[in-house]
Structure 1
């Protein structure tokens, strides 16, 4: 029988990542009997999550090469995990942490959240973090363009802000390293306002970079994060998900319906459509009528991050046996590979699975350069660099896998797309429907944008928008604003309202990335007064510290 090339349904969702699948699942919950089709350009589901099977000490096991962490402060994704019956467990962070702060510094270790940096650099870093968090607190995550001095911050790069707000080169290098791990972007690539919005949506820099309670790297998902998408696909019905079908055109020229065209020649007619693709990817679709000019300007001004991730599995967790947490932060050791100015490792954590298979997970610094060397050369450099910190045992993994997200089809980067200077003026269009087209994806979130939680929140919001539109006209017309917020039983409003509540977790210890300076009050009190006087007097200290 010939494959049917023209299909009708109620809703089409473009993108089978976490946001799109959450939207499809929630619509089916909100509107029983609603026919939803999910159309995905890739040959797999999961979007920016990717769980792979590797050989471990006790046999095959699962590890994540894409987004993987969740947190007790991320209420939307925690709701979904509970809904699907998926368990999570704490990120291991007990033991000594390792740091190499630059080519001129050796490897240092410490037990608490205060790293072994020069004193002035510690104070400098603490001052920057404290001041930026205090400003970001007043940047509305739903309307960041309305913040005080929004235009001023939107017209400068984050690099310019860091240069004007810090004294020491070590503090600047540490900020650069931390931000690259969080976003995959360099300081010069985004606006200062975009950075502040990112902090606002998560609750501050401390939450972004730590493994502590309520922080971004607090919890891991049993079986891997891509399992969330597979569970959603089963609930939606896998037959309603079409893979390897890139959407090339969305036509709203006819009243009361939308026509969706794919590269293979399939056509779908629906009442509403949700586009749950990264903003920079939505521009490859032809729209009739075209998108508003301001939204086009926004999406073309959002750059995707470039993360290069690796996982190495081992027979034993030798780092734990030696009293280390597995955490490494490095922003400057010398490379031994021609053409690469720094050794590859930027950040590493313990990745031992829930089944007890030891592993390390890490991110490569300067991925554009390291991506140009051969796979074998890069692997050897990574393992040799790990050995600098943990000894020769690190050179002998059972298995090793890597993922350059810049090469991922229909993504071209990971984990998030953020705004260049001047783009925030058009940010109000990021969630505004275009006719019968609604927008999802983690970039459209107001809480934990750029994370799995942001993807889930955006999917829930888009589903609620479509649910309201699918109701009979006389019901839609009689909805008060309060009643409209109760669509889907008020789930989204309830989850959004939990932001800022005290986080709870099953573990009693805390950990952090070693550049977090939230607990430097004592040091700052001793040294900060003199430095503050110099700063207020207009002096700027460019110390090689």
Structure 2
């Protein structure tokens, strides 16, 4: 469904909800570009050099790369009434804003950091500096980086499987993972089965699964081991730094600021509420796009969407088999993000704080309170399996978990806010993974153009896949592919 501007302004979007009054959707989401609130009755035709389908971080990065290269004849077609995709802010009367999508940036995620720097966007600490703790059967444990013979069996088990992940991932080719030694064998076993075969304690198995699950998919028994190893390989920092490097920073003003700044520069080249329904004739001298607001004729097209979401577009002629297989087979998972806000960090000085994995209920929590203690802020994520619950039921689960993790008072925040991407039709999830067999069968089509169609999206990135940095890199890569082709012709 398309979110209306009025619904966003009034905070009534089905995407997110708040148990307290005082929220409004950030005004700048409705960037003052073209008036696209209604589908035009009479089809209009526009001719451009490049049409970009999707105004998320990948699509806007592609547009900015082209714009900086001197390409002014371009258009960004976004189905929602805001740019940003899986990164957008909500204004908050007390703490300025909440990031309802992507939040953290790692120290080695240089593409997104450099893009932010171009617009003068600065960083701040990502979370409270504290340990990562795992809750298992009412016991909280800090993972030892270097356990020895005196450590618990679970600690030793966790360390050995982590080492196996690290070593095995180093054998995977980032450019072409399907050429990895034993690729077919690795691609036909699930990550869940491999973890079960390579752990000896239920506790370590639970820890390792929780560590991975949020980053790629909810059910590791449906994810290819080769894909998981490839995902780890794209991270630069390897398996050991799963929870350390990626949460090093947050952007002042929120991650949404990047796409808003780009949109300001592009002006009416960005068209909101404008879904692309058909892409045709892409093997000819140009491509024809049928949208909610008219016809676009472009020399080149970048489809910058989650692979599964690209399946909502009708392609004629049909896409080649391997490209369609990726679109059809790519899994999408949406964890449900929530915030709890307090007058101050009530738990500071009483319990250790930082980063927590709670196993029952399955919730991941970060203490993101500011260093000055001016307010308390916890950011949490529900496992996708809780999507069938309503907000009231999930809030009860969250309060139960927070009282276990912190102190009893943590169950009584001033405000509770959540967002469920499962309820957004045009952005059908947060992270994505491939099932067994697909990477070796069709992986070569990940970044392969089809006629004049090019592809972008964090899922297609060779570095930091499933992260904002990967989205930026993928958009820049697709733009450079087109620029190279323009130079040749």
Aligned with 1:359 (options 377, 389, 413): 377
Alignment of 1:149-298 (within 5 A): 149-203=182-236, 205-206=238-239, 209-211=242-244, 215-237=245-267, 239-252=268-281, 255-262=284-291, 264=292, 266-298=294-326
Note the C-alpha offset of 1:388. Answer: 2.0
> How many residues were matched structurally?
447
Aligned to 1:499: none
Task: Assess if the C-alpha contact under 8 Å between 2:302 and 2:453 holds in 1.
Answer: yes
Task: Assess if the C-alpha contact under 8 Å between 1:283 and 1:300 holds in 2.
Answer: yes
Aligned with 1:420 (options 422, 435, 453): 435
Segments of 4+ moved more than 6 angstroms: 1-4
Aligned with 2:81 (options 26, 36, 43): 43
In 2: Cα distance, 1:210 partner to 1:381 partner: 23
Q: Give the alignment's TM-score, normalised by structure 1.
A: 0.78
Aligned to 1:385: 401
Alignment of 1:65-84 (within 5 A): 65-84=100-119
Q: Give the alignment's TM-score, normalised by structure 2.
A: 0.86
- The DSSP-based 3-state class of the residue aligned with 2:477 is helix
- In structure 2, the CA distance between the partners of 1:95 and 1:250, relative to structure 1 (3 Å rule), is closer
Task: Assess if the C-alpha contact under 8 Å between 1:136 and 1:204 holds in 2.
Answer: no
Alignment of 1:285-324 (within 5 A): 285-324=313-352
Note the C-alpha offset of 1:64. Answer: 1.6
Note the C-alpha offset of 1:28. Answer: 0.9
In 1: Cα distance, 2:389 partner to 2:284 partner: 53
Note the C-alpha offset of 1:229. Answer: 0.9
Q: Which runs of 5+ in 2 are unaligned?
A: 1-39
Task: Assess if the C-alpha contact under 8 Å between 1:128 and 1:166 holds in 2.
Answer: yes
In 2: Cα distance, 1:314 partner to 1:27 partner: 44
In 1: Cα distance, 2:448 partner to 2:329 partner: 17
Aligned-residue RMSD, C-alpha? 2.3
Note the C-alpha offset of 1:225. Answer: 0.9
- In structure 2, the CA distance between the partners of 1:157 and 1:96, relative to structure 1 (3 Å rule), is closer
In 1: Cα distance, 2:98 partner to 2:375 partner: 10
Mapped pair 1:99 → 2:134: yes
- In structure 2, the CA distance between the partners of 1:323 and 1:377, relative to structure 1 (3 Å rule), is closer
Task: Assess if the C-alpha contact under 8 Å between 1:54 and 1:399 holds in 2.
Answer: no
Deviates more, 1:177-186 or 1:452-461: 177-186
Task: Assess if the C-alpha contact under 8 Å between 1:156 and 1:191 holds in 2.
Answer: yes
- The DSSP-based 3-state class of the residue aligned with 1:376 is helix
Alignment of 1:429-468 (within 5 A): 429-468=445-484
Q: Which runs of 5+ in 1 are unaligned?
A: 333-342, 478-545
- The DSSP-based 3-state class of the residue aligned with 1:216 is helix
- The DSSP-based 3-state class of the residue aligned with 2:155 is helix
Aligned to 1:15: 54
Aligned to 1:398: 414
Task: Assess if the C-alpha contact under 8 Å between 1:45 and 1:229 holds in 2.
Answer: yes
